[in-house]
Copies of this chain bind each other. A is one copy, B any other.
Amino acid sequence: MKIQRLIYYMLLTVLIASCQKTSNEVQIKDVDPLPSWNEGASKSAILNFVQSVTDSTSASFVDVEDRIAVFDNDGTLWSEQPMYFQLAFALDQIKKMAPNNPEWKETEPFKSVLNNDIASVMQQGEGALIQIVLATHGGMTADAFEANVVEWMKAAKHPRFNRPYTDLIYQPMLEVLKYLRANDFKTFIVSGGGIGFMRPVTNLLYGIPAEQVMGSMMKVEYDKENKVINRYPELAFIDDKSGKPVGIYNFIGKKPIAAFGNSDGDLQMLEWTSTNENSFMMFVHHTDAEREWAYDSLSHIGRLKEGFGVATTSGWTIADMKKDWKVVYPFELDK
């Protein structure tokens, strides 16, 4: 009887273990993959799209190798107000580099930057901004630039929230990224921002490794003697508007089946994606002045209206921040 009881308990243990496994699996399936999205058309559209392209019995099924999803960064994965974070970085770098560039005290646009007269910098137009970007993003090794970016990301605080800029990423979009990857999508960033500025942090912030980050590029050259990559103060590629499909073709070599953007700069990427039979296009609409910002156009990013117009007339999915998002930033979850 003793042995029988032992055998009975052993069997029971095995059975319980196997039951637990099944119960876990069911549980995982029942968990909402997008908990920060309010129920509604936008959330349903994402869920339905992923379900249809991953269902091997569906006519819309897409092979794993073609499950490519591309995301703009500024205004789509993190905020872009009151200015592009990369521009805030560049302005801070000008101040840091000023001691070695005494002539900047008397030369625009640097003079205005050093005097904290940002309004005047902005008034000097795009040319002035490009001058600031070139001076702070070139003329150094790739390693030195990366160190500057990492240092700034750690120390700088966003003026409105008094938190690191990297705290201002969108919780609902993090859930979309994770949900897509759980369904064997490969997620890429395709941003007008610089690759060297984003790559040091994208894996930590979004789970997107450096090699899946496309963006605008400075001219770089390999120094054979010192075996280092040098960055030059010259733009080599602008990953914006029609540049985005070009960047995707060159870097990925596949037309995405899902694209997420929020501005005119993303329009061509979304339109190109839409020529794929089974595709999903989402336009993030900044409608929440209280938790984020509400805007349809802004000086430093140009007009957004064309993109939003095409998005609505084409029936793309609109993510209305105010209506669709339960929370905007991850730190709201801690409250």
Contacts and interface: CB of A to CB of B under 8 A. Distances in A.
Interface stretch (A25-33, A98-106, A166-174, A248-256): A248-256
A229 B246 contact: yes
Given A222-B268, A251-B211, A227 B10 contact: no
Contacts of A7: 4, 7-8, 11
Nearest to A218: B250
B14 A227 contact: no
Given A7-B11, A253-B195, A242 B213 contact: no
Contact of A220 (B65, B222, B244, B249): B249
A317 to B, nearest CB: 19
Nearest to A211: B252
A227 B249 CA distance: 13
A16 to B, nearest CB: 13
Nearest to A244: B222
Q: Which of A199, A246, A275 has the most CB of B within 10 A?
A: A246
Contacts of A211: 68, 186, 188, 212, 251-254
B227 A246 contact: no
Given A11-B7, A186-B211, A253-B210, A246 B221 contact: yes
Contacts of A229: 245-246, 249
Report copies per complex: 2
Interface residues of A, number: 43
A206 interface: no
A217 interface: yes
Given A68-B211, A253-B195, A227 B142 contact: no
A224 interface: yes
Contacts of A324: none
A212 B209 CA distance: 13
Given A10-B11, A203-B65, A210-B253, A222 B195 contact: no
Interface of A: 4, 7-8, 10-11, 14, 65, 68, 142, 186, 188, 195-196, 199, 203, 209-213, 217, 220-222, 224, 227, 229, 242-246, 249-254, 268, 271-272, 274-275
17 contacts: A11-B11, A65-B209, A68-B211, A195-B253, A210-B252, A211-B251, A217-B250, A220-B249, A221-B246, A222-B243, A222-B244, A222-B245, A222-B249, A224-B242, A224-B268, A229-B246, A251-B251
